[in-house]
Structure 1
Amino acid sequence: MKKITKIILLSLVSIFYIGCKKKSVKVSQEEPLNIILMIGDGMGLAQISTAFYFGEKIPNFEQFKNIGFIKTPSTSHTITDSAAGATAFSTGQKTYKRSIGMSKDSLPIPTIIETLQEKGYQSGLVSLTPITHATPGAFYAHVKDRDLHEDIALDLVKSNVDFFAGGGLKYLKHRSDEKDLYAELIAKNYQLDSVKLSKYDINKKNGYLLADEGLPSKTEGRKSFFQDATQLGLDYLTEKEKPFFLMIEGSYIDWGGHAMDAELLKQEVLDFDKTLGLVLKYIKKHPNTLLVVTADHETGGVSIGKSYVIDEKTGERSEEVDNVSINFNNDQHSGTLIPVFAEGRGSENFRGIYENNEIYHKIFKSINNK
């Protein structure tokens, strides 16, 4: 009899434990979802493949199970640019080439940052280029042409972005209109630093502009800025204990394609993958977060092919069976489909093949638990 009573008690404890466990999951599902969008500018499938051939470890890309592809044409050109590509991500609408946060009819469209701010979200931007460049600019600015850096900087001051790190100091401090937007941001309760990634002030918004234009590339000696800025942004936004949207751009993969520079491309992809590993670790500790990794377009028509060695004496060419080469078709953007990788709550929404502006709508589908 005592044995039966003991079994019943153990069963009740197990049921209670399972019930509590289910309840905690339900609460987690009801919490606002953090969003991290990583964009490897110019990063197509071949670029991603270089991480598998030239890295010392298994690439972090291999951790993903939910994978899809996007189609990238803009409304004006079959081959898009970063401005129209990023605007599709940030607004949910396709637009014309060179447009920043504008519709195909040149009208301002609310960006994902502006929409989420109304829902109580924080926002952050990390880039290796000027923070006024096409990709980061598309998430807070509204201008007709991507080269209007000074106008984009004016929108940055209005944007109330909580955290940003990158280059572009000259567009705030050394302007043709002689305005000092750096001082204006400080007056708006920003802590700014143009020297290093100093400790953030939790009671202020924080901005880091560490170069007049862009940061150095990896082949020019850039060290761990990409990982350090990403970690700093995650720490700050997490400590504020409010949901957030963070866009992280690996900018110079695109530059490697334009320069047809295999070493630059390879190093920038490996640096992006290293930063990706850091973000995936964050997701494991903070499961109420959605990570989406993609690119605005591919650059260079890159392929991974056979590698050959030439005999100096005979001039004969022979294949290196253990090596591959990075080949370029040209120095421009291409129209190839772009991979999408997703992890975290709602990541299953990103499977399949769809238009680039659907990234925006799938993010909101995930936020709304659909």
Structure 2
Amino acid sequence: MKNLLLLLFLCTSVIGWAQTPLANQKKPKNIILLIGDGMGLSQVSAGFYFNDETSNFERFTNIGLIKTSSSAELVTDSAAGATAFASGVKSYNGAVGVDSDTNSVPTIIELLSKRNYATGVISTSSVVHATPAAFYAHVFRRSMYEAIAENLAKSEVDFIAGGGSQFFDRREDGKDLFEDFRKNNFEIHTESLPDKVSKKKQLILLADNAMPKMIEGRGDFLPESTQLGIDYLSANKQGFFLVVEGSQIDWGGHGNEADYLIGEQLDFDKTIGVALDFAKKNGETLVIVTADHETGGFTLAASENDYNTIKPSFSTGGHSATLIPVFAYGPGASSFNGIYENTEIFHKMMSLLQKK
């Protein structure tokens, strides 16, 4: 009987701990959200088996899973997946910052900018691609790149780094959006990452469209731009929100190219280390790492009967419906444990950033 009572007490305690409301948790001043586009659990695992260094994923102790279906499809695309993160609503595949009826929905960047947070967007794709776009733009179709670029020029984003310069100064409508950025106090870089930046807002576009692949010599653009973005945004006393996308993990999956995918995954892993190092030192920063969906049905199988050799393989050239891991570190990290809808990423972040 005593053992039964003890068991009931322990179960009740665990349930109570798991249901601790976000309002009672320590809250972060800053959030860094890292999105590995197309990154499922096998992609994360590849960073353990094909990495010369210890994977930065081993530094997380708070881990959850998200369900990723869009409003109309069981298997989401990047646009609907990122809109769920950025605005907390389920929408249709292809939707960027709009709901199922194509009505604009406010993004976390727009909401936080009104509260004087500094904000940033970094990507290894074009910055007008679906995932980064969902955090600042509102269009009913993800391929509306020139319209998305105009949305970015009118946004409150303070630090921007990635590719996509052609959508700003070589447009079909003849507009030069770089002039709009200059009028809005931006410093523009199109040749290389600066060693340091001024106090002006930053627009860094280093490719006409996407940045090069890692296996084609991109180098340390993603970890270095992330460090640069953190250095710039952390000067803001109110706090900051930074979203960083490892875009081309997805593209390696679509192409069923294991070397491409693994190179991008290792680059993303290294970038996570930059964010975690800052968070550990800063003490007021929440780091969240997740993905919009898995791409390629990627798996790490034994090679024939050789259980000491891993042979990466794929089951599709598209996306899959597998649950996606969420990793969190810093103030409020425990609220990301469990299994929940992808829209909860937005709601959990906003709850944690409520005024104290």
Q: TM over 0.5: same fold?
A: yes
For the pair 1:363 / 2:349, whether they are aligned, the reply is yes
Aligned match of 1:35: 31
In 1, Cα distance between equivalents of 2:292 and 2:193: 27
For the pair 1:301 / 2:287, whether they are aligned, the reply is no
* Code of the aligned partner of 2:33: L
* Code of the aligned partner of 1:359: I
Q: Which runs of 4+ in 1 moved over 6 A?
A: none
Q: Contact 1:29–1:288 (CA<8 Å) still a contact in 2?
A: no
Partner secondary structure for residue 215 of structure 2: coil
In 2, Cα distance between equivalents of 1:157 and 1:290: 28
Aligned match of 1:133: 129
Partner secondary structure for residue 178 of structure 2: helix
Q: Contact 1:42–1:297 (CA<8 Å) still a contact in 2?
A: yes
> What is the aligned counterpart of 1:144 among 131, 140, 143?
140
> What is the aligned counterpart of 1:247 among 243, 249, 252?
243
Partner secondary structure for residue 289 of structure 2: strand
Q: What is the Cα deviation at residue 369 of structure 1?
A: 8.0
In 2, Cα distance between equivalents of 1:160 and 1:202: 18
For the pair 1:346 / 2:332, whether they are aligned, the reply is yes
In 2, Cα distance between equivalents of 1:307 and 1:33: 47
In 2, Cα distance between equivalents of 1:366 and 1:160: 21
> What is the aligned counterpart of 1:175 among 163, 168, 171?
171
Q: Contact 1:192–1:207 (CA<8 Å) still a contact in 2?
A: yes
Percent identity over the alignment is 48
Q: Mapping of 1:1-370 within 5 angstroms?
A: 33-308=29-304, 319-368=305-354
Q: What is the Cα deviation at residue 202 of structure 1?
A: 3.6
Q: What is the Cα deviation at residue 29 of structure 1?
A: 5.3
Aligned residues: 332
Aligned CA-pair RMSD = 1.5
Aligned match of 1:15: none
Partner secondary structure for residue 296 of structure 1: coil
**Structure ID, larger Rg:** 1
* Code of the aligned partner of 1:323: T
User: Is there any run of 5+ residues in structure 2 with no aligned partner, and where?
Assistant: 1-24
Q: What is the Cα deviation at residue 125 of structure 1?
A: 0.6
Q: Which whole-Å deviations, capped at 9, do the CAs of 1:338-370 have from their partners, x for residues lacking one? A: 000000000011000000000001112222389
Q: Contact 2:290–2:327 (CA<8 Å) still a contact in 1?
A: yes
In 1, Cα distance between equivalents of 2:355 and 2:51: 36
Residues 369 and 188 from structure 1, CA distance in 2 versus in 1: closer, same or farther, beyond 3 angstroms?
Answer: closer
In 1, Cα distance between equivalents of 2:257 and 2:237: 42
* Code of the aligned partner of 1:153: A
Q: Which whole-Å deviations, capped at 9, do the CAs of 1:249-279 have from their partners, x for residues lacking one? A: 0001000100000111111111111111111
Q: Contact 1:33–1:288 (CA<8 Å) still a contact in 2?
A: yes
* Code of the aligned partner of 1:217: K
Q: What is the Cα deviation at residue 241 of structure 1?
A: 3.2
Q: What is the Cα deviation at residue 201 of structure 1?
A: 4.1
Partner secondary structure for residue 282 of structure 1: helix
* Code of the aligned partner of 2:163: G
Q: Which whole-Å deviations, capped at 9, do the CAs of 1:72-116 have from their partners, x for residues lacking one? A: 000111110000000000001111110000011100001000001
Partner secondary structure for residue 364 of structure 1: helix
Q: Contact 1:200–1:206 (CA<8 Å) still a contact in 2?
A: no
Partner secondary structure for residue 123 of structure 1: strand
Partner secondary structure for residue 146 of structure 2: helix
In 1, Cα distance between equivalents of 2:196 and 2:274: 19
Query: TM-score by structure 2 length?
Result: 0.91
Aligned match of 2:9: none
Q: Which whole-Å deviations, capped at 9, do the CAs of 1:152-191 have from their partners, x for residues lacking one? A: 0010011021001000000000000000001111111100
* Code of the aligned partner of 2:175: K
In 1, Cα distance between equivalents of 2:242 and 2:127: 14
Query: TM-score by structure 1 length?
Result: 0.87
